[in-house]
Structure 1
Amino acid sequence: PLHRSTVGALLASELGWKFYDADDYHPKENRMKMEKGIPLNDQDRIPWLCNLHDILLRDVTSGQHVVLACSALKKTYRDILIRGKNGAPLKSGESRKEEKPAEVQLLVVHLSGSFEVISGRLHQRKDHFMPPALLQSQFDTLEPPSPPENFIQISVDKSLSEIIAVIMETLKMK
């Protein structure tokens, strides 16, 4: 079944880029929460996303192109992937040092599908740590990318080869 890590891994191998699955980088506490069916909140996700930003930045700075499979559900999460903690919303009374943050150039590939389709696929997967009940909370949190974000949206109803072809075409034009 089609999943962001399947798409990401295949895309990376087609492009000869490095592949990361963001799920591998969750701290143990996050993993335990998800296994118990407790949705993650921003406090759980922000350090995880900041860490992913650092990994992406390190690779990109060394000239390495990267594909990251990640459930970056909200715009603020995608901002953190691009800007690190400078992308995170400020807490009240917090101020930001005005150094120019190092940014990662990101093309967001939004694999979109209905709750029913994605839920049906999760039920077929034996290996996944996410209980389907958590899926509803992800749909509730989801902010699909919109301009001025740099993104493309592709339906998960397409075949894997179609999805890869669309992404490759888009990258050629960028």
Structure 2
Amino acid sequence: MPETQRGARCVVVMGPSGVGKTTVAKALAGRLGWLFAEADEFHPPANIEQMSAGIPLDDDDRAPWLASIRDWISDHGAAGSSSVVTCSALKRRYREVLRGATVELSFVELVGELALVKERMAKRTGHYMPVSLLDSQFEALEKLAPDETDGVLVDVNADPDTVVARALAALGLGDPAPRAVAARG
């Protein structure tokens, strides 16, 4: 494990598409006053085109994407900024890449039944990930193992505020009131 920056921390909100990663991560970042990053924005255009066509990514497709997320986390940590990042992180080896970041890292795995997640995905608009790829994501998911002590499981079968409160409690971060993130120049 790399040496970490003192004080800087990152929470990676993980799980298959449609579990609410973006909603939960944005709310966590807002309540903590930390930076927010959406992993989808780190994908190269070829990955987005592939997924939009209903073709799952393989490990080779994901490698540079994961490395760029890890590097973003490290760069902001080096500047003293804590962050919340979304990332499916479906497999342990993907989480190991992220663990190479030079900050204290925690994972929040959002857990929900496939039927619930499909229902939620069918209602969302403006996202390139088709519902047809959801089964492959659930099949590929390697849940956090008991020895991955830097992670917590949070059930998404509730309203977003409840899920965020569960995540904060599981991380030992309490339930701070919302506050703005200071802009960096």
TM-score, normalised by the number of residues in structure 2:
0.79
Larger radius of gyration: 1
Q: Give the aligned partner of residue 55 of structure 2.
A: 38
Q: Give the aligned partner of residue 123 of structure 1.
A: 122
Q: Give the aligned partner of residue 9 of structure 1.
A: 26
What is the CA RMSD across the aligned residues, in angstroms? 1.7
Aligned residues: 156
Moved over 3 A (4+): 170-174
Compared with structure 1, are the counterparts of its residues 2 and 71 closer, same or farther at alpha carbon in structure 2 (3 Å cutoff)? Answer: closer
Structure 1: 5+ residue stretches without partners? 84-101
- CA shift digits 1:78-118 (9 cap, x unpaired): 110111xxxxxxxxxxxxxxxxxx63321110101111111
Q: Identity of counterpart residues, as a percentage?
A: 37
8 Å CA contact 2:19–2:110 kept in 1: the answer is no
Give, as a single letter, the amino acid of the residue that structure 1 aligns with 2:21: R
Structure 2: 5+ residue stretches without partners? 1-17, 175-185
Q: Does 1:163 align with 2:180?
A: no
Report the alpha carbon displacement of residue 168 of structure 1 after superposing the two structures with TM. 2.0
SS in 2 for 1:45: helix
SS in 1 for 2:30: helix
Larger proportion of strand: 2
Report the alpha carbon displacement of residue 2 of structure 1 after superposing the two structures with TM. 6.5
Q: Give the aligned partner of residue 141 of structure 1.
A: 140
- Compare relative contact order (CA 8 Å, sep 6+) and give the higher one, 1 or 2: 2
Tell me the distance in 1 between the aligned counterparts of 2:170 and 2:134: 29
Tell me the distance in 2 between the aligned counterparts of 1:160 and 1:138: 22
Tell me the distance in 1 between the aligned counterparts of 2:47 and 2:167: 30
Report the alpha carbon displacement of residue 46 of structure 1 after superposing the two structures with TM. 1.0
Larger proportion of helix: 1
TM-score, normalised by the number of residues in structure 1:
0.84
Report the alpha carbon displacement of residue 124 of structure 1 after superposing the two structures with TM. 0.4
